[in-house]
Amino acid sequence: MKTAIRYPIIIIILLTSFTSAAQESLGLKTERFSGVNSLYINPANTISSPFEWDVNIAGVGLFVENNYLYARNSNIINAIRKRENYSTRTGHEPLKDFPEGELIFDFFNDESEYFAFANAHILGPSVSWKADEFNSFGIFTGIRVHGSARNIPSSFYYKDFKSIRISEGINLDPLEVTAASWGELGVNYSHNLNATDHHQFAVGGNVKLLFPFEAGYIKNNSAIKIQKDPEEIYQFTGVDMEYGLTTVAGNQAENYSLTRNGMGMAMDIGMTYTHEKRVGYHWRIGAALLDVGRMSFYKNTEKHIIETGSIVKFLEEDFENPGDLDDLTEMISTKSLENPNLSKTTNQFSLWMPMALSLSFDYHLKKNYYVHAGMVGRIPLPGLALERTNTFFLIPRYESRWFGFSLPIVLPEKNSLRLGTSLRVGFLTIGTDNIGNYIGKKDLTGGDFYLAVKFNPFTWNGSFDRRTVKKGRVKCYQF
């Protein structure tokens, strides 16, 4: 039996966590040979590239993770294969009552708080170029989708929420859910401040022009009491909330095309210190601030505020076929404030970017063997903001000019250790930060995948020092 999930807050959580969206796509960014793609984790990295130039042709990184909904005894390949043959376990039905071989979605009920994170990054044409030993320039493009929801109270366990009664009820504590999509056009500059045969200190920055497409958020400013009476009417007491959204996708779903609905700007700044040996380097450390900036939405945009001392009542059926977004917002305003247009207060809102601190340490073990350790940590911001997950990682790897292989060990926020894998052959890189989601069967809570195709010089003599690379000579690699 296919069962729709109709409750408003749950719809928001699921839309956030299952928007087509690897959190950091580590295999694309942490190698010495990452080239222009390394600027996404530290903009100072490009000056240390072994290539005089590097071109990213196209790439994609997809990531989703949550602790609310899962697919029982499955993996990503199995879930894709059975995407038309699934059921949702909305109650406490025995598992034996479901058809054998069917994909079963279920809900966690042993969490103190629920969360959902998702992002997608389409890597567009990008290029980096080292003008000399001290200066590197780059241009990069892309489209990003990002969503986050944290601190969802455990009282929103689906099966308990479905069965609440007037005598019990649950409290929805203050929370914030945000999601957005946007395009990026950025420039990169990195500079070698001091380079000798023994060390190198470099700084770098990215400046990004942002082209916002779609966004939505919901925020309640105080605890809301939610109850359900015997007639299956949901009652909300103490409502003090706001929400905002762009309307193009919701009102023009069948004929949707990307539409710029605002503008924004952001920057990344970073530094690296490299302790070098005669060939290559011994170790390197780096630190960077990522996504410092914000986006403003002011076209096809609405912001609504609902604050009332009265009890607000909804039926389940109100959200089953609400029509387009205009119909939905008018229905919510009518039910809450007895006026279809009263909740709308303005035609604009802004979102902070998912600002984070990136730290890294790369150690050259011997010959072609390295190990990379690092973290990307969320930086809380005042006001409405997209949020990253906190991620720690350790990445042993083998790399040469034409081949690279790594096994990322990743500790995501509020999750157990995960093992990923990344493979680079020539100009193609493919990988995942959680290979367990593709092999074996377990409770599937998300997944990730990344891939990139790029092009750079064939000439390579094994040295990391650009002063030993012969300029003007590009010859075919001899297999």
Domain boundaries, the chain: 8-468
15-39 mean pLDDT: 69
Percent of the chain with pLDDT over 90: 44
Q: Distance between CA atoms of 245 and 347, rounded to whole angstroms? A: 9
Q: Which residue has the higher pLDDT, 25 or 195?
A: 25
Q: Is the pLDDT of residue 13 over 70?
A: no
pLDDT at 192: 93
88-115 mean pLDDT: 83
Instruction: Lowest mean pLDDT of 66-70, 101-105, 256-260, 278-282, name the range.
Output: 278-282
Backbone phi and psi for residue 331, each to the nearest 5 degrees, phi listed first = -65, -45
- CA gyration radius, the chain: 25
Range among 226-230, 249-253, 335-339 with highest mean pLDDT value: 335-339
The CA angle 16-19-21, to the nearest 5 degrees, is 110
Distances (CA, A) of 14 to 117, 267, 416: 10, 30, 22
Predicted TM-score (pTM) of the model is: 0.84
Confidence band for 460, pLDDT divided at 50, 70 and 90: low
pLDDT at 234: 83
Confidence band for 414, pLDDT divided at 50, 70 and 90: low
Q: Are strands 103-107 and 86-88 parallel, antiparallel or unpaired?
A: parallel
pLDDT at 395: 94
- pLDDT 10s digits, 313-339: 888 777 777 677 888 899 999 989 999
Q: Distance between CA atoms of 139 and 185, rounded to whole angstroms? A: 8
Q: Distance between CA atoms of 225 and 17, rounded to whole angstroms? A: 25
Q: Distance between CA atoms of 287 and 202, rounded to whole angstroms? A: 11
- Average pLDDT of the chain is 84
